[in-house]
């Protein structure tokens, strides 16, 4: 009883599509993740600092304010969040977009329309085990 507490895996989902964020957070929760969902870039930056997730799943196209590219850049520039793995989950599939997010420090890139949610969750699990 006084042993080590089991550490919950924590995931932050940054997605403005309500249906997709609900489904993705359900998949993550079913895999043992404590999940927080935010729908815009400003919320994402704040939640990353307070929730301290083990992984962030980030959409690139977000409501006006700060897009996913800017969120990723700020996360990787900030000392308290720079080591959190970020997986981009977007419908942007242009080679230039993929190169941009890789250059900004993304750990993975999945195109929503071409990827099963199970594969995204498995990838997120692998990232936090390394």
CATH 3.40.50.300 is right for the domain spanning 9-129: no
Kindly tell me the sign of the dihedral angle through the C-alpha atoms of 77, 81, 83, 86: negative
Examine the pLDDT at 1 and tell me if it is beyond 70: no
Predicted confidence at residue 49, as pLDDT, reads: 96
pLDDT tens-digit profile of 46-58?
Answer: 999 999 999 999 9
pLDDT tens-digit profile of 88-111?
Answer: 999 998 999 999 999 999 999 999
The Cα 99–Cα 3 span in angstroms is 45
CB crowding 6-28: b at 16 or more within 10 Å, else e: eeebbbbbbbeeeeebeebbebb
User: Mean pLDDT score of the chain, rounded to an integer?
Assistant: 93
Q: Which backbone phi and psi does 87 adopt, to 5 degrees? A: -110, 120
Predicted confidence at residue 86, as pLDDT, reads: 98
Band the pLDDT of 28: cuts 50, 70, 90: very high
Predicted confidence at residue 7, as pLDDT, reads: 59
What secondary structure letter does DSSP report for 16? S
Predicted confidence at residue 76, as pLDDT, reads: 98
Examine the pLDDT at 5 and tell me if it is beyond 50: no
Predicted confidence at residue 10, as pLDDT, reads: 97
Q: Is the Cβ–Cβ distance between 125 and 117 less than 8 Å?
A: no
Predicted confidence at residue 129, as pLDDT, reads: 87
The Cα 87–Cα 63 span in angstroms is 19
């Amino acid at each position: 009883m006084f042993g080590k507490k089991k550490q919950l895996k924590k995931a932050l989902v940054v997605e403005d599509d309500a249906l997709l964020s609900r489904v993705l957070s359900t998949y993550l929760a079913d895999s043992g993740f404590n999940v927080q969902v935010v729908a815009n870039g400003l919320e994402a930056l704040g939640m990353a600092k307070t929730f301290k997730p083990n992984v962030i799943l980030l959409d690139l196209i977000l409501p006006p304010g700060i897009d996913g590219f800017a969120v990723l850049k700020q996360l990787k520039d900030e000392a308290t969040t720079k080591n959190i793995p970020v997986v981009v989950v977007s419908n942007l599939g242009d080679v230039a977009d993929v190169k941009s997010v890789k250059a900004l420090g993304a750990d993975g890139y999945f195109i929503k329309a071409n990827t099963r949610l199970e594969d995204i969750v498995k990838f997120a699990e692998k990232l936090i085990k390394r």
